[in-house]
Structure 1
């Protein structure tokens, strides 16, 4: 399983009245993690969009464990939890600067044609991406 790691300094604007990171900002950081993983695998999501293909979120799950605060550095680990040639489930863990687990999550995506939102097979249309995702995804123990 391949993991991409990205660090983000928590900015004041990302915190709420309680002084902790506002919950929706973790979704933005997950996107940063996905982009980093895709880049680490040798691809570019912006290039996919230029070809008229987008990858909307079908489902997202987030579990908040420990708050992050302004001035801390968040570490986002991202990997491919599951992949079947059409649908991708990314896994996330976000850590505090001291290494405490702050957030866990998963997001489910499918690639679609931008013009009509019809799903496309990554396996058929982008065999290089497919092969990279197959190699990088989490291995299931039997």
Structure 2
């Protein structure tokens, strides 16, 4: 499971006057993908935060190839790029029901110790789960 796929139905409130998904909503879609990718690994943001770890986004790059539209059923694929260290990096692909590639993106997040508010290495418990996937 170096990647996972979730389905997203575009809601009316997520579109602009042209019935296209407003560009600012893509960041939320990518967060949904990352959250579910981690959840499938047995890790939740809630548990990380309870153990004193934050995972803020430090970089997000999006390439809009074709517009997603109101009521489209999108497939969002979230892919782990490489073995994490203090940072974790994901690529994303959004496709429509016709399997057309609409959007690609990349994000980098950093593990942060909530007590010190400083970057930290990935916790061993999380790294071990990811390493099992990479075998």
Q: How many residues align?
A: 135
- What's the TM-score once normalised by structure 1's chain length? 0.88
Offset of residue 115 of structure 1: 3.5
Output the CA distance in 2 between the equivalents of 1:133 and 1:104. 23
Offset of residue 79 of structure 1: 1.4
Select 1:127's aligned residue among 124, 127, 133.
Answer: 124
Trace 1:81-92 onto structure 2 (pairs within 5 A): 81-92=81-92
What is the DSSP-based 3-state SS (H/G/I as helix, E as strand, rest coil) of the residue aligned with 1:82? Answer: coil
Unaligned runs of 5+ in 2: none
Output the CA distance in 2 between the equivalents of 1:67 and 1:127. 40
Q: Provide the aligned C-alpha RMSD in A.
A: 1.6
- For residues 37-96 of structure 1, give each alpha carbon's deviation from its aligned partner in whole angstroms, at most 9, with x where no partner exists: 001112112100112210111111100011111111111000111234211111100111
What is the DSSP-based 3-state SS (H/G/I as helix, E as strand, rest coil) of the residue aligned with 1:16? Answer: coil
Output the CA distance in 2 between the equivalents of 1:52 and 1:128. 14
2:23 matched residue in structure 1 = 23
